[in-house]
Amino acid sequence: MIGTDTNVLLRLLVNDDPQQNELARDHLEYVTASEEVYVPIIVVAEVCWVLSRTYRLGNAAILDALRALIETENFVFQHVDVLVDLLQKDHMAGDISDHLISLMAFQAGCRHTITFDRAAARAVPGMELLS
């Protein structure tokens, strides 16, 4: 098994650097023929944040990109159960990364997640404003 970093997945998804996109595709096609690619949950959170902030994609497009990654054969996602829960949400308000944080905390047994982010506290179930 090999791990992957955020920038490799982003090159696959957005193809903003054709040379790096080709390198990533070629390498992952070669690797996945014989072994698995591990995707840490922090990489998923970073991918969501970059797609939202840098590429200005909406939640629906980001969730579609995550679905495509999760359906990629031989990709192994850390906390895939949390990602499956995340992908079942329709019409998600707020940042996907905040939803991921809240879901991870809930899975760990937390009653709620405290934040100074007013928008997250309004939009994300399980987030509470610290004031």
What are the structural domain ranges in the chain? 2-129
Top-level CATH class of 2-129? alpha beta
Q: Name 39's bridge partners.
A: 77
Residues 6+ apart with CB under 8 A from 34: none
pLDDT tens-digit map of 39-49 = 999 999 999 99
Which pLDDT belongs to residue 11?
94
**At 27, is the pLDDT very low, low, confident or very high (cuts 50, 70, 90)?**
confident
Quickly tell me which residue has 């996945």 as its tokens: 32
The whole model's pTM is what?
Answer: 0.86
Our separate counts of H helices and E strands in the chain read 7, 5
The answer to whether residue 90 scores a pLDDT higher than 70 is: no
SS percent in the chain: helix, strand, coil, step 5: 55, 10, 30
